[in-house]
Amino acid sequence: MTHSASIAPPTSPREMWLVSAGHMLTHWYPATFYVLLPLLGRELNLSYTEIGFIMTAMHGIGAIMSMPGGMLVDMVGKKGTLMALSLFWIGLPYALLSLTHSYWMVLLCVSLVGIGNNLWHPAAIATLADRYPTRKGFVLSLHGMGGNVGEAVAPLVAGALLATLSWRTVVVINIVPGIIMAALLLLFLGAFTLENNRQEASAPQGVGDYLRNFGDLFRNRALMLISTATGLRTLTQSGLLTFLPVYLAYEMQYSSFAVGVCMAILQLGGFIAAPIGGHLSDRLGRRRIIMGGMTITGITIVGMALAAKTPWFVVFVALVGFFLYAMRPALQAWAMDATPRNMGGSTVGMQFTFSAVGAAVAPAVCGMISDAYGIYMAFYFLAGTIVFANLMMLLMPPDTGAPDSA
């Protein structure tokens, strides 16, 4: 069952591109940090488990904050302002890392990042889905591509800067693009969103009405299953993003720049896949794209582990990125299909709570597996999780994944 009968007021493409560009910066910071992580681990003499727990702390706080962030979006409605605040909040703690010299201060900084990062998605995804109701998959794929651009370019830039600068200097320089983009969001999008709130189906709601609608989300079987599958997909992604650069630096002795190139290749695959997956999910249905993407992702992760230290390794990295990210806009659009438009922020908050839990679990579990059995076993574990997520899709109600255009 879909909820796109009422049509949102026309909007210019400028809003779509601004939101997607802002999303690029929200992913730029963590993508830079993944390249810095091996250097930070060496400087502080951290084990695999301790490295993994850094990312677990960030995503764990994100899991706690995702639902409050979604509630805030639906009840306040000032989406442009909230997106600008989120972007600034993400960048500042990364800059504060330059002042840290202890493991516990690093954990504090990345925990603050988790708060800001999970305010962005409820505001951004709900806005785009509401304004482009018949092309959710495609528009959300463009939003996802913004994230892929950030995650692809940032490792290259960080790797190049690290050739001449210390990692502490790099994290300070890194905050400048986010400040500029936050100002642009306030200037062009903040007032625009507020001006149109009176016309939106997702305008601010009364507390009583909101709480009744919020309770219905927990009884929505489709949303619960989609959110669980999303969490498992993100678990796989988070484990790869944390330990692929560590594996390349520690096991294969790659330079920081070479690590950045490999991570960029992973994101390049996702950049290509996102619009394809989003568009096909609008035309063919969400289920087909998600189940196909999950099946092939599991196979390619196993292939990546088996192809270690051969030229085929980079090929499999690109394939993992392609299929892992192809299903992301379809999952987001499917969740929005299954819930009322005036609960868009909370729907995204629910989905990203599960996503953040998966992202928090993966680094710690993969770190413990790597310390106990070797880092290759961590990759096999990740392949298994994405296959299990695919099985969740078999339990979905058949009508929820119908294309929007149907």
Helix H, strand E, coil C: the string for 112-138 is: HHHHHHHHHHHHHHHHHHHHCCCCHHH
Sign of CA dihedral 260, 261, 266, 268: positive
5 within domain boundaries: no
Domain of residue 139, CATH code: 1.20.1250.20
Q: Where would I find the beta strands (DSSP E) of 68-209?
A: none
Spatial contact of 199 and 85, defined as CB atoms under 8 Å apart: no
403 within domain boundaries: no
332 within domain boundaries: yes
| d(C-alpha 390, C-alpha 282), whole Å | 19
Report the pLDDT value the prediction gives residue 202, as an integer from 0 to 100: 44
Q: What's the whole-number mean pLDDT along residues 98-106?
A: 86
Report the pLDDT value the prediction gives residue 398, as an integer from 0 to 100: 62
385 within domain boundaries: yes
| d(C-alpha 76, C-alpha 69), whole Å | 10
Q: Within 163-220, where are the H helices?
A: 167-173, 175-184, 191-196, 207-218
- Which residue in this structure is represented by tokens 């650069």? 245
Spatial contact of 21 and 120, defined as CB atoms under 8 Å apart: no
Residue 70: domain span = 13-395
Full-model pTM = 0.69
Report the pLDDT value the prediction gives residue 405, as an integer from 0 to 100: 37
Portion of the chain with pLDDT greater than 70, in percent: 89
Q: What contacts 24+ positions apart, CB below 8 Å, involve 7-11?
A: 7/133, 8/130, 8/131, 8/132, 8/133, 8/200, 8/201, 9/131, 9/196, 9/199, 9/200, 11/131, 11/132
| DSSP 8-state symbol, 102 | S
Q: What's the whole-number mean pLDDT along residues 145-168?
A: 83
What digits encode the pLDDT tens for the residues 211-262?
788 888 888 888 898 899 888 888 988 888 888 888 888 888 888 888 888 8
Mean pLDDT, the chain, integer: 78
Measured CA to CA in angstroms, residue 27 lies from 33, 116, 178, 223 at distances of 10, 12, 10, 25
Report the pLDDT value the prediction gives residue 237, as an integer from 0 to 100: 86
Measured CA to CA in angstroms, residue 241 lies from 33, 71, 334 at distances of 10, 29, 25
Portion of the chain with pLDDT greater than 90, in percent: 0
Spatial contact of 93 and 30, defined as CB atoms under 8 Å apart: no
What digits encode the pLDDT tens for the residues 48-93?
888 888 878 887 787 777 777 777 777 766 677 788 888 888 878 8
pLDDT of 112 strictly over 80: yes
| DSSP 8-state symbol, 341 | G
Measured CA to CA in angstroms, residue 308 lies from 45, 209, 288, 302 at distances of 25, 55, 31, 10
pLDDT band of residue 206 (cuts 50, 70, 90) is low
277 within domain boundaries: yes
pLDDT of 46 strictly over 50: yes
Spatial contact of 307 and 357, defined as CB atoms under 8 Å apart: no
| d(C-alpha 115, C-alpha 110), whole Å | 9
pLDDT band of residue 8 (cuts 50, 70, 90) is very low
Say which residues have a Cβ less than 8 Å from residue 224's Cβ, sequence separation at least 6.
218
pLDDT of 1 strictly over 60: no
Report the pLDDT value the prediction gives residue 77, as an integer from 0 to 100: 64
The count of domains in the chain is: 1
400 within domain boundaries: no
Report the pLDDT value the prediction gives residue 189, as an integer from 0 to 100: 67
Spatial contact of 361 and 85, defined as CB atoms under 8 Å apart: no
As given in the structure block, the two tokens for residue 222 are: 């489709």
